[in-house]
Amino acid sequence: MGYQDQSLSSATGVELVVALYDGAIRFLYRAMQCVEEDDVRGRRIAVKKVLDILTYLQARLRPDLGGAVVASLADFYATMFTMTLEASHLESKEQFEEVIGFVRNVREAWVVVARDPEAGKVLPRELRTREERFVPQSEAYVPVGETAASGWSA
């Protein structure tokens, strides 16, 4: 198992999301490089990887848990998907740069969520940082009138 595999296997959900954004940015840069080099095959491979990442991120959204935030992310992923395809079709470095800027901005928001203990409290357990997952039972918050298991689903 390589270093990257090992670090990803111990990563939290938010850290994995950030890693996916990093991958999308890396492949967008690769697609831009392929446009410069007139490497059609390389551009298509890089764009396919970006689209795969966006599709995966969209498929993992949980509308039942996220409400307006999930709807915004779904719109964002759909827009980035379309813009990436358009940039590839037009072989436009400028449009790839625009997509990179948008993806980088949202990635930075995920980094803030990963570092902010207050933001972590509203995240589903699988997206919390390692430290937040292991809150002692006595400190766990359960709203009055609800049982600890009322928010669980199988």
Question: SS3 for 38?
Answer: coil
Per-residue b/e over 12-43, b at no fewer than 16 CB within 10 Å?
A: bbbbebbbbbeebbebbebbbebbeeeeeeeb
pTM, whole model, 2 decimals?
0.73
Which stretches in the chain have pLDDT values below 50? 1, 3, 132-154
Q: Which CATH number fits domain 3-139: 3.90.420.10, 3.30.9.10, 1.20.140.10, 1.20.120.340?
A: 1.20.120.340
- Distances in Å between the alpha carbon of 38 and those of 23, 25, 30, 99? 22, 20, 12, 20
Q: What residues does each domain of the chain span?
A: 3-139
**pLDDT for 141:** 44
**pLDDT for 5:** 55
**pLDDT for 69:** 87
